[in-house]
Chain A
Amino acid sequence: MGANILIADDLSFMRMIQKEILTERGYTIVGEASDGREAVEKFKSLHPDLVLLDITMPNMNGLEAMRKIFSLDPKARVIMCSALGQQNLIVEAIKAGVKDFIVKPFKPERILSAIEKALKAS
């Protein structure tokens, strides 16, 4: 409860939806990023408990950003968001250490349960 979450997605509409769902559940959105570079920057400065990363973003995509985040903190909690048909990218992400992924369009229960699980794990 009350965990700090960083949302990264290039569509402001998407970020808005995610923000609504999460704050309703009591999570705090410490920051938003609209591209990979910003995501890494904000991760560095805001130290969120968890990051929601979209896999296709301009200016450094989600996979790259995730790798950079892991190199900053190997214990970072990252959940990858992807559209259907990006299986290869997801598998790459899993190989690099992502703990969970969500397929868009997602139902709110999905994203909430994924976050809950990720936060519960050490």
Chain B
Amino acid sequence: MTNTGLDEARLRHAFLEEAEELSQKLGDTLLALEGDRENLELINEVFRFTHSLKSESALMGYQSLSELAHRMEDVLGLARAGTLKVEKPVIDAIFAGSDLIAEMMAAISKGNRDTEFNTEAALKDLSAIVSSAPGNGHRGAPAAAAAVPAGAPAAAAAPAAAGAREIVLNDVERRQLAEARDRSESLYRITVKVAETEQMKFPRAYLVFCNLELIANVVKTDPAMDGEPVEDSLYGATTLVVTTAGNDTALREAATVDQIASVDIEPRGYEEYLAPRGARAAVSLSAAANLPPGVAAGLAPGGVPAETAPAAVSTVERTSIRVDTRKLDDLWSLIAELVLHKSHLARLSEDLGRGADVHAVREELSDSFDSLEKISSGMQQAMMDTRMIPISVIFNKFPRLVRDVSRKLGKPVELTLAGEDTEIDRSLVESLSDPLTHIIRNSLDHGIEFPEERVREGKNERGRVSVTARRQGGNIVIEIADDGRGMDTGRIRQKAVTMGIAGAQSFSEAQLLDLVFLPGFSTKDVVTDLSGRGVGMDVVATRIRGDLKGDVELRTDPGKGTRVTLVLPLTLTIVNALLVRGDNHLFAIPLTDVDSTAKVLSTEIRGEDGREISRWMEDDIPVYSLGALFGKGRRKSEEYFAVVLRHGDRKAFLLLDELIEEREIVIKPVDDLLNVHRMFSGASVLEDGRLVFILDTSLIRRENF
């Protein structure tokens, strides 16, 4: 520790006094804990003691002591969170650590160093406990979250290079930029580098972000700041795209927060970010063969919106997610049960071999099957649950947003949030964040009146905005309501008529309000007449209706307020699939399971019914037909359309009636009742209402095939 003239001796004395007391208390409380292992209060106390010991000894430069205390703190942190049970090995390891600390304290008080002690064994034991705790291997904060590697995003794109990243904006962000340009604001690209010595880079970058937000508009950051932060070190260099009515001096001042090593501000032109993007590259079948296995097979961390160019993903590509360890525990127990059943089945097999009664064994097999059913749907559910996070992840930004914007505009507004615990699929988080933010901004900008006007209308001077979320059936319903001036449907009707919208004269209120979601209605000059209320709503609608397959609705009461209601389906797993027809039913095959399409001549098929094969590349592979699997049998023909299915190392021909097209489909789980033969891995409903079943390609591995 740098000497700034402090009295070293006095300092040491104070440290010794306090640390020795802590060490003593630690020992005493541990004894009590040993006799009462589930006592949360005791666990908390021990945790605090090790925490304090860690901090103090680190400050004094006693690294060895500090590290030991830190490791103990990790173990206790897990116990505190309930992830680790305080069994004998745990208590023993903590005691060992505590004893060692006591010895170190004794040595230090005699003027010696803590480094004379061998902490290796103790550290090893403690580390072993930490990594053996279910779902954990990660040191750190008490309410530990484990990182689970997930598949890469579904787009057929090479991951963005870690070097100079070009920022790409999504639709809502581009809209914001366009508006800023129309307001004649200047555009800057700011790069801040956090000091090397700063141990928490994300909060530092976040501070800069918050400061800038107070005086300017931050359109985008890279790495992203909303939602869950990515790896801390990535924030060491953060880029922000900012527009401001002022100049860069104010920006520089706001960004020059403590522990920021450098601030680089570059003026930019709007065209750079607003240039039209290339059309979405169609994924060709040959490219499908190159997609890495597991990608898009229902485990994509987020659905890729159809309009985004796949090669340029605007947010950091994540390859891991954070999951509440309790959810992993659920999976863990299911896996444990699975293992039990595995041995049960093995035993049954042995029994049969030894000539046990076939009927009795059949009974047991049936029971086992039942349990396996439950386990497998339990696992499916548990996996889906790990995808669910509380919507507070998005809601948390709103208080700040409302405070900042209302301050900027000079309109005091009170925000109420409800239903923050409602869980949503994490893939929805990124896509929902912008539209919701936009709607709230809209409310503040154009809905809520200025205080004087409100008072004149007999309203409370403070405007009110409420955001609520709730589950309804298989959907999430989010409502944003304000008590502002509402929208004048008469004006909307006039505008619609002027724009030449057929039948507008006799539209109902609901129909008129729905018009607000049309692109034409969101243009700037139209919007001025409507007092800006429709701005950007077309983008919101595209996002919600198109990408998220949900719905959005506007309701208004002129003079009293407006309410926007969004309804979104709960889970959205989107997969690139090949749509095919077999015996008048539609099926979808995930592109990752398709090796190729082919035409097979009936002369090329050899073997007998039920065991046919044909040549593909250098191998003979089995031939199946959709008609036979699901319908009346294969129709006779000289040649057939087919796909070559691939599952693991096995391949097979699947003969079809028609190859329709490739498309992205949203997978819904399919009920057991519809899937008794386990042929489907899900189902989907197309825009026209037709039902499509998604083939479970693993059926080519089944023995009775």
Q: List the interface of chain A (C-beta within 8 A of B).
A: 10-14, 16-17, 20-21, 24, 56, 82-88, 90-91, 94-95, 99-101, 103-105, 107-110, 113-114, 117
Contact = CB atoms under 8 A, between A and B. Distances in A.
24 contacts: A12-B14, A13-B14, A13-B18, A13-B56, A16-B11, A16-B14, A17-B11, A17-B59, A24-B5, A86-B141, A87-B200, A87-B232, A90-B200, A90-B203, A91-B203, A95-B210, A101-B203, A103-B199, A103-B200, A104-B55, A107-B1, A107-B2, A108-B2, A117-B258
A91 B198 CA distance: 15
B52 A84 contact: no
B521 interface: no
Contact of B51 (A12, A83, A99): A83
Given A11-B56, A103-B198, A105-B55, A87 B141 contact: yes
A10 B54 CA distance: 14
B51 A91 contact: no
Contact of A114 (B51, B229, B258): B258
Interface of B: 1-2, 4-7, 11, 14-15, 18-19, 51-52, 54-56, 58-59, 139-141, 198-200, 202-203, 206-207, 210, 229, 232, 257-259, 396, 399-400
Nearest to B61: A105
Contacts of B7: 20
A85 to B, nearest CB: 5
Contacts of B58: 104-105
A16 B257 CA distance: 27
Given A83-B55, A84-B200, A94 B4 contact: no
A100 B1 CA distance: 22
A11 B55 contact: yes
A14 B11 CA distance: 10
A95 B141 contact: no
Nearest to B11: A17
Nearest to A95: B400
A13 B229 CA distance: 34
Contacts of B5: 24
A20 B210 contact: no
A18 to B, nearest CB: 11
Given A94-B206, A95-B210, A104-B55, A13 B15 contact: yes
A60 to B, nearest CB: 15
Nearest to B198: A103
A91 B284 CA distance: 44
Contacts of A21: 4, 6
Given A13-B15, A24-B4, A83-B51, A105 B59 contact: yes
Nearest to B74: A85
A3 to B, nearest CB: 17
Nearest to A116: B258
B207 A100 contact: yes
A83 to B, nearest CB: 6
